[in-house]
Amino acid sequence: MQSTFNPKSSRRVLIGIGGGIAAYKVCEVVSTLFKAGAEVRVILTDSAQEFITPLTVSTLSRHPAYTDKDFWQPTRQRPLHIDLGEWAEVLAISPLTANTLAKLTYGMADNLLTNTILASTCPVLLAPAMNTEMWQQLAVQRNWQQLLADSRYHGMDTGYGLLACDRVGAGRMAEPAEIVTHIQSLLHTNGKRDLLGKRVLISAGGTREHLDPVRFIGNPSTGKMGLALAQAAMHRGAAVTLVHAPATWNVPQGVQSIPVVSAEQMQQAMLECFPEADLIVMAAAVADVKPASYSAEKLPKRSLPTKLPLEPVADILAELARLKQPHQCLIGFAAQTGDIVTPALEKLQNKKLDAIVANPIDQPDSGFGSGNNKATFIDNQGHQVEISPCSKLQMAHHLFDFVQGSIGAPGTWH
Backbone angles phi, psi at 289, to 5 degrees: -140, 165
Q: 120 in a domain, yes or no?
A: yes
Q: Are residues 307 and 168 in the same domain?
A: no
Cα–Cα distance measured from residue 266 to residue 317, given in angstroms and rounded to the nearest whole number: 11
Q: Are residues 55 and 106 in the same domain?
A: yes
Q: Are residues 61 and 174 in the same domain?
A: yes
Q: 411 in a domain, yes or no?
A: no
Q: Are residues 184 and 285 in the same domain?
A: no
| pLDDT tens readout for residues 228-252 | 999 999 999 999 999 999 999 999 9
Cα–Cα distance measured from residue 311 to residue 323, given in angstroms and rounded to the nearest whole number: 24
Q: 332 in a domain, yes or no?
A: yes
CA-based end-to-end distance of the chain: 35
> Model confidence at 162, in pLDDT bands (50, 70, 90)?
low
Percent of the chain scoring above 70 in pLDDT: 93
Q: Are residues 94 and 29 in the same domain?
A: yes
User: What's the confidence (pLDDT) of residue 335?
Assistant: 87
Point out the residues that are catalytic: 165
Q: Are residues 73 and 117 in the same domain?
A: yes
Give the residue-averaged pLDDT of 311-325: 95
Q: Which of 158, 189, 220 is the last residue of a domain?
A: 189
Q: 302 in a domain, yes or no?
A: yes
Strand-strand pairing, 90-96 and 329-336: unpaired
Q: Which residues of 141-168 are buried (b: 16+ CB within 10 A; e: fewer)?
A: eebbeebeeeeebbbbebeeeebeeeee
Q: What is the CATH number of the domain that holds 41?
A: 3.40.50.1950
* Residue 217 pLDDT exceeds 90: yes
User: What's the confidence (pLDDT) of residue 7?
Assistant: 39
Asked whether 81 and 14 are in contact (CB, 8 A), the reply is: no
pTM of the model: 0.91
Q: Which of 161, 189, 217 is the last residue of a domain?
A: 189
User: What's the confidence (pLDDT) of residue 8?
Assistant: 39
| pLDDT tens readout for residues 43-98 | 999 999 999 999 999 999 999 999 999 987 776 678 999 999 999 999 999 999 99
Q: Are residues 318 and 261 in the same domain?
A: yes
Per-residue H/E/C for 9-30: CCCEEEEEECCCHHHHHHHHHH
Residue 173: domain span: 12-189
* Residue 9 pLDDT exceeds 60: no
Q: Are residues 70 and 152 in the same domain?
A: yes
Q: 179 in a domain, yes or no?
A: yes
What 8-state DSSP symbol labels residue 141?
H
Q: Are residues 231 and 102 in the same domain?
A: no
Q: Which of 95, 98, 108, 97 is CA-nearest to residue 139? A: 98
Give the residue-averaged pLDDT of 349-361: 93
The total number of structural domains that make up the chain: 2
Q: 354 in a domain, yes or no?
A: yes
Q: 284 in a domain, yes or no?
A: yes
Q: Are residues 74 and 125 in the same domain?
A: yes
In one-letter notation, the amino acid at residue 51 is F
> Model confidence at 349, in pLDDT bands (50, 70, 90)?
very high
Give the residue-averaged pLDDT of 127-134: 90
Q: What is the CATH number of the domain that holds 328?
A: 3.40.50.10300
Q: Are residues 209 and 181 in the same domain?
A: no
Q: Are residues 260 and 401 in the same domain?
A: yes
Alpha helices by DSSP H, 106-223: 112-118, 132-136, 138-148, 176-189
Q: 413 in a domain, yes or no?
A: no
Q: Which of 189, 217, 232 is the last residue of a domain?
A: 189
